Structure 1
Amino acid sequence: MSTEPSVSTVRQWRVPVKLPVVKLAGALLLVALGLLFAEGDPVQLVLAGLGAAGLTGWALRDLLAPVRLAVDPQGVTVVTGFAGRRRLDWSAVESVRMDDRPRFGVRSQFLEIDAGESLYLLTRHDLGTDPAEVAEFLRAHRPD
């Protein structure tokens, strides 16, 4: 019998609720600024509309697939593409690690789940918590 801890129930990490709200508010602000300052310039209106559409699409992804990572005794489920999900058995997960490095003067932290030919990267914004804590949890509860 193993004395290692195991995942006895499903644990999920999701996008914080405030994130899609902020993105939608930003989209509305872009539209308002475009209408206010474009003064009939179609290029500025189109650019504001494209920016608003991009933010709205990004917010919709957060609303359609808020759970970015789920773990249970059999494996993990990660979000792929716009709002798809991929189930990975623990045997398919080669490694779980934290990537922490400065990029362009900003510190970037990613949870990396390596599944052989696929690499899944999740940020604090995806998980709603520190990626290092999630990596530690996954390593501690992964059956060997």
Structure 2
Amino acid sequence: MQPPSSPAQTWRVPPILPVAKLVGAVVVLGLGLLFAGPDRVQPVLAGLVAAALAGWGLRDLLAPVRLAVDPDGITVTHGFAGHRRLSWSEVEAITVERRTRRGLTAETLEIDAGESLHLFGRYDLDAAPAEVAEALRAAHAAAR
């Protein structure tokens, strides 16, 4: 996150996540090939899982900034590695959804833009979704 004194704030994926996903892809592929017997299903499944992890890690490298805010509006990720600009007039609601399952609580930042809903978790933002929601609301109030 950029310092509050700058005109725009950004939230991005923690730098360790893409590295961990890419290393995980190599480990899964290596283990799948190492323990492969005469059956070819195991290496194929390991290759598919490794490809999925590598694609996920590649997305984090190509589009690390998931959310940005400035006085004119919000920029969110869109598609695999694209971005979409939302003016403040398009943003209908900024909420944080909290869910508890099996004793663990997860928060999701929801940005409702009418025709689209944009969801961000803690690992998308490298910050607590409630803190980001407050920063977005403050930026929206300051833009009025």
| Pick aligned residue for 2:127 from 116, 126, 129 | 129
Q: Look up the equivalent residue of 1:59 and give its one-letter code.
A: G
Gap regions ≥5 residues in structure 2: none
Letter in 1 for 2:61: L
The range that moved more, 134-143 or 14-23, is 134-143
- Give the structure 1 partner of residue 40 of structure 2: 42
Structure 1 portions without partners, runs of 5+ = 1-6
Give the letter for the 1:78 counterpart: V
d(CA) in 1 for partners of 2:48 and 2:116? 31
Q: Decide whether aligned partners of structure 1 residues 106 and 66 sit closer, same or farther in structure 2, where only a CA change above 3 A counts.
A: same
Where do 4+ consecutive residues of structure 1 move more than 3 Å? 103-106
Percent identity, aligned pairs only? 61
Q: Aligned letter for 1:132?
A: A
Question: Per-residue deviation at 1:32?
Answer: 1.1
Change (3 A) 1:104 1:46: farther
Match of 1:3 in 2: none
For 2:79 and 2:73, the matched residues in 1 are separated by: 20
TM-score (norm 1): 0.91
Given that 2:69 and 2:139 are in contact with CA atoms closer than 8 Å, whether structure 1 keeps it comes out as no
| Partner residue, 1:93 | 91
Inter-partner Cα distance in structure 1 for 2:104 and 2:36: 33
Instruction: Output the amino acid matched with 2:109.
Output: L
1:13 to 11, 14, 24: 11
Aligned partners of 1:13 and 1:70 also within 8 Å: yes
Contact 1:98 1:110 in 2 (8 A): yes
Tell whether the 8 Å contact from 1:8 to 1:72 is kept in structure 2 after alignment. no
Aligned length: 138
CA offset digits 1:3-43 (Å, max 9, x no partner): xxxx9611100001100000011101101110111123210
2: CA distance, partners of 1:8 / 1:67: 16
Alignment of 1:47-62 (within 5 A): 47-62=45-60
Which protein, 1 or 2, shows the higher relative CO under an 8 Å CA cutoff with sep ≥ 6?
1
CA displacement at 1:80 relative to structure 2: 1.0
Q: Which residue identity does 2:68 align to in structure 1?
A: A
1:83 paired residue number: 81
CA contact under 8 A between 2:99 and 2:106: conserved in structure 1? Answer: yes
Q: For the Cα contact (< 8 Å) 2:76–2:85, is it kept in 1?
A: yes
